[in-house]
Amino acid sequence: MMKIRQSLAGKLFLAMAALSSVIVALMAGFIAINIRSGFSDYLLEIELEQFDDLAGALALQYAGSGDSWKSFASDPRRWHDTVRSNVSRLGPPRDERAGPRPPRDERAGFRPPPPAGMRPPRPEGGARRPFPRHPDPRQLGTRLALLDIDIDRVAGAKIASRNFVTQAIFDASGRGQIIGYLALAQSRAAADGRDQSFVFDQLKALGLAALLALAIAALSAWVLARYFLHPIQELMQGTMRLAAGESGVRTQAQRSDEIGTLITRFNEMAESLEVAKQTERQWVSDASHELKTPLAVLRGKIEGLQDGIYKPDEAFLSDLHTSVMRLTTLVSDLNILAQSGEAKLSCIWAPDDLSEIIRESLERQADRLNKAGLEFDLNLIEDAPIECDRGRLLQLLDNLIENSRRYTSSPGKIAITLGELNDGYQIIIADTAPCPTELQLPKLFERFYRTESSRNRQHGGSGLGLAICKAIVDAHSGDISATASNLGGLQVGISLPKQQEAQS
């Protein structure tokens, strides 16, 4: 039992079962109360229907008293006489088990009537004999009352604080006008045995129905608890396997509710972690491979120098310096990508002019473009104030222009356009043929991606340049994309905001 209480399924089952029990108990109690009161009212209404003769006699006396009940209100004996004369023959049915009624002269306390013409003797002391009490087995003296049209008591029993039913008394003229009411209250004594038995049978049936409903509710609670918690248990197991390093774990999502959405999000998270893990492995592998090449070159040259194969002349030292610089650049690029992957790419924000930054980058590479047989075309707006990191944007433009220089066939052309957007600027760098394929375009900004490995190495690239460009643009809260240009080559579009919302 302690284990059930501690589990989520057990808690949900107990909560639903308890709620169902309370609901069933309240409904059963409410129905039981209605059965008792309703059955009592029903019996009173059946009994009250037997007083039609009394209602007719009261209507005649009402008309004879000038359409008033004052005669009954001022003379209680008139009310009793009217009830006795019209209700006595409607006494309760005699129990079939009781024997025949004994003769009048054999009844206990019966005194024979006096001879004709003689008055009955007065009691001792000369006191007037009290009004004789008549048998009242139905207790009408304490249950039956006459009410006026406003439901105020006129005569009879005082029943205002008790449960009672009423029967309308219509005028004797036949016009259908209500002139008063007969009211019959519930007896203070115990109900008839048959009535008690009927009510008990009904309550017993109600109790059985309540127990059945409670059992169904408990079963439903158990089924619902399993229905809702089974996928949660699968998610818990999947989370444990995911935490243990099993990134390929997935949970079947066959639901359309919130739990189904949770399962879908879990699968997306697991897939994202799996992709990140694969990317990390690929990242380490590619980085190791890229570092291996310049290190191997340096090692070979140094060993050749030690063996006397090479002489430490100016050309040899310049070649060593080139290898070291390539290694330094690669390490710097790796550091930039590592910072961007951790959202820590540092930037120094300051107001600047984007047109001047583009011109400076192009001027620095103008000689190399001319030697490669490439023309360049500028279409820049004059004034482009922006909040940026000037060094990072120069690195971005240098990488893009250098990428076009490496892979654009000679003779060729590079066009750079700067335009203004609603809240920022758009830079477009387009070149002539060749152009990557449609399948290659979405992957250009991935780390270490090369469209053609041998050609890339021939041009000295590491596959990190465009990935660094994307990291710099992301740090500036911008967007970068690659498409085919109208010139026949590659077109890179960059959008940058004028102001930075969060500076770092």
Distance in angstroms (rounded) separating the CA atoms of residues 202 and 32:
8
pTM of the model: 0.47
Q: Which residues contact 445 (CB under 8 A, 6 or more apart)?
A: 466, 467, 469, 470, 480, 482
Q: Where are the alpha helices (DSSP H) in 49-155?
A: 52-64, 70-74, 76-87
In CATH terms, are 247-343 and 347-497 the same topology?
no
The pLDDT of residue 6 is 56
DSSP string, 362-399: HHHTHHHHHHTTEEEEEE--S--EEEE-HHHHHHHHHH
Peptide bond just before 411 cis, omega within 30 deg: yes
CATH topology of domain 247-343: Helix Hairpins (1.10.287)
User: Domain 347-497 in CATH: superfamily?
Assistant: Histidine kinase-like ATPase, C-terminal domain (3.30.565.10)
CA 367 to chain centre: 65
Type of residue at 289: H
pLDDT(379) > 60:
yes
Taking only the tens place, the pLDDT of each residue in 292-317 is 767 877 888 888 888 888 888 888 88
How high is the mean pLDDT of the chain?
77
Distance in angstroms (rounded) separating the CA atoms of residues 139 and 471:
100
Which residue do the tokens 């209700």 mark?
Answer: 87
Taking only the tens place, the pLDDT of each residue in 114-153 is 555 555 555 555 444 444 455 666 777 788 888 888 888 8
The pLDDT of residue 135 is 64
Strand 144-147 with 153-156, pairing:
antiparallel
Strands (E), 117-190: 144-147, 153-156, 164-170, 178-185
Which residue do the tokens 């949770």 mark?
Answer: 262
Among 74-83, 369-378, 470-479, the range scoring the smallest mean pLDDT is 74-83
The pLDDT of residue 61 is 85
Please calculate the CA angle 371-470-446 and round it to the nearest 5 degrees.
Answer: 90
User: Could you tell me which residues are beta bridge partners of residue 481?
Assistant: 493
Please calculate the CA angle 488-493-498 and round it to the nearest 5 degrees.
Answer: 155
* Confidence tier at 456 by pLDDT (50, 70, 90): very low
Q: Which two tokens stand for residue 351?
A: 């107001």
State which of 10-24, 47-61, 208-222, 423-437 shows the largest mean pLDDT. Answer: 423-437
Q: Where are the domains of the chain?
A: 8-85+138-246, 247-343, 347-497
Please calculate the CA angle 361-365-370 and round it to the nearest 5 degrees.
Answer: 140
Among 78, 87, 167, CA closest to 131: 78
Distance in angstroms (rounded) separating the CA atoms of residues 404 and 373:
12
